[in-house]
Structure 1
Amino acid sequence: MADVVDLIMQDHREVERLFAELESNPQARPTVVPVLTTLLAAHSRAEESEVYPAAADAGGADDVEHSQQEHIEADELLERLAEADPEGAEFEEILAKAVESVSHHIEEEEETVLLHMRERMDVSRREELGDAFLKAREEHLGQQPADITRDELRRQADNAGITGVSGLDKASLQEELRKQADG
C-alpha cells in the first residue's frame, strides 16, 4: 500500500520530466506528447474521482475547487497541444502555456491539497486512497483529455462547486465548466 500523496507527487515529477523533454528535444515531441497527455488525463480523472472528494471532506473544499478549475484549464490546453503540429509555431505557444499552467497547479496542489491531506488524514486513510487512486488511474490509462465522459464532467462540476448543471448534455456541460474555469 502506498500513500496517495506520495503517488500523486511521483506523477507530478514525471510530468515535469516530460515537459522538460518536450522543451529540450523537439524531435521527441511526436512520441512524448501522447505519453504526457495520457498520463495527465489518467492522473486527473483519478484525482477527481477518488482524491478530491476525500480531500474536500477533510476540510479542503476551497482548495479542491481551485485545483479542479485548474484541471479543467489543463485539459483544454492538453487537447490543443495534442492537436497541434509539433513542428509548428503554435505548438511552442501552447506548450509554454501548458507548462506554466500545469506547473502552477502542481506547486499549489502540493502546498495546499496534498499538505492538508498529510496533516488531516491518518496514514491508513491515505493508503486506502492510494489504492483507489492507482485503480482509477489504471482504468483511464490510454485515454486523452478529450475522452472525458459526461459523468466525469459532472464530477468536475461537483468538485469545483458548480451547481445547476446536472441536466446539461456533455457539450453544454463542458462549455459551462470552461467558462467557470476561465471565470
Structure 2
Amino acid sequence: MSAPRGGYALVAPTASGGPMPDVVDLIISDHRELQRMFEVLRTDRSKRAAMAPVMSTLLFAHSRAEESEVYPRARDAGVEEDVEHSQKEHLVADQLAERLTGLDPESDEFGEVLDELVHAVTHHLEEEEETVLPHMRERMDADSLQQLGERFLAARAEHLGDQPDDMTRAELEQQARNLDLSRSTQRSKAELKDALEDEAEL
C-alpha cells in the first residue's frame, strides 16, 4: 500500500490476490476512517493540529472522487434525486472544512466548526449508505461496480494532499452538473462558486 501526502494509506487489493473491493466497499471504508478521525479530533485536543489537515484532505479527495466518478454513474443508474441531495451535502462539507482549515486548532471556534462539520458529514454518510449505495448495488452489475471502484481509487489518489480551497473550475463544473444546474460552462469560476454556495443545504 502506498502512503500519499498526509499519511493516509490507499486501499489496495488483498494480499492473497483476491479481487479488488468494489466501489461501495471502498466508499464505506473511507466513511469508517473519517468517523475514526472525527472521534479523535473531538476527544483529543492534542492531536488536532496534526490530524485536522489529514482528515480534511481525505474528505476532499473522497468527495471529489465521488463527484467525478461515482455520482455521474449513479445518475445514469436512475438515482438522480439521491445524487443531487448528496452533492448539496458535499457543498456544505466543503464550506465547513474550508473554514476549519483557517482556524487555530487550539481555539474554541475550531471546536465549534469541527462539531458542525462532524454533524454534517455524519448525516451525509448515513444517508449515502441508506440510499445511494444500496441503489447502486441493486442497479449495477458486479463488474461495473468493481471497475468503478478502480476509477474511484485513481481519482481519489489524484487529490490526496489537496485542501478544500484547491478546487478547480473543472471540479466546480462537475458539481454543477451533478446538481443539473444549467449554463454552468458559461460562468466564471467565481460565479460558479457563488451559485454552488447558494445550493448548499445548510
TM-score by structure 2 length?
Answer: 0.88
What is residue 8 of structure 2 aligned with on the other side?
A: none
Deviation, structure 1 residue 165:
2.5
What is residue 165 of structure 1 aligned with on the other side?
A: 184
What is residue 129 of structure 2 aligned with on the other side?
A: 110
Q: In 2, distance between residues paired with 1:62 and 1:162?
A: 13
Further displaced range: 155-164 or 109-118: 155-164
Q: In 1, distance between residues paired with 2:80 and 2:69?
A: 14
Further displaced range: 158-167 or 56-65: 158-167
1:147 counterpart = 2:187 = no
1:62 counterpart = 2:81 = yes
Deviation, structure 1 residue 180:
1.5
Deviation, structure 1 residue 182:
3.9
1:126 counterpart = 2:145 = yes
What is residue 94 of structure 1 aligned with on the other side?
A: 113
1:5 counterpart = 2:1 = no
What is residue 199 of structure 2 aligned with on the other side?
A: 180
Aligned-CA RMSD value: 1.0
What is residue 10 of structure 2 aligned with on the other side?
A: none
What is the one-letter code of the residue matched to 2:137?
R
Q: In 2, distance between residues paired with 1:38 and 1:156?
A: 18
What is the one-letter code of the residue matched to 1:53?
P
- Where in structure 2 are there 5+ consecutive unaligned residues? 1-19
**Partner secondary structure for residue 123 of structure 2:** helix
**Partner secondary structure for residue 87 of structure 1:** coil
Aligned residues: 183
Q: In 2, distance between residues paired with 1:109 and 1:151?
A: 24
Q: In 2, distance between residues paired with 1:88 and 1:24?
A: 14
Deviation, structure 1 residue 172:
1.5
Maintained 8 Å contact 2:89/2:201: no
If each structure's helix is expressed as a fraction of its own residues, which one has the higher value?
1
Deviation, structure 1 residue 164:
2.5
Q: In 2, distance between residues paired with 1:53 and 1:13?
A: 23
What is the one-letter code of the residue matched to 2:179?
A
1:50 counterpart = 2:74 = no
Q: In 2, distance between residues paired with 1:179 and 1:96?
A: 22
Deviation, structure 1 residue 5:
0.1
Q: In 2, distance between residues paired with 1:105 and 1:122?
A: 25
Q: In 1, distance between residues paired with 2:27 and 2:47?
A: 25
Deviation, structure 1 residue 128:
0.4
Q: In 2, distance between residues paired with 1:179 and 1:120?
A: 31
Q: In 2, distance between residues paired with 1:182 and 1:24?
A: 27
Q: In 2, distance between residues paired with 1:55 and 1:27?
A: 40
- Where in structure 1 are there 5+ consecutive unaligned residues? none
Match of 1:137 among 127, 149, 156: 156
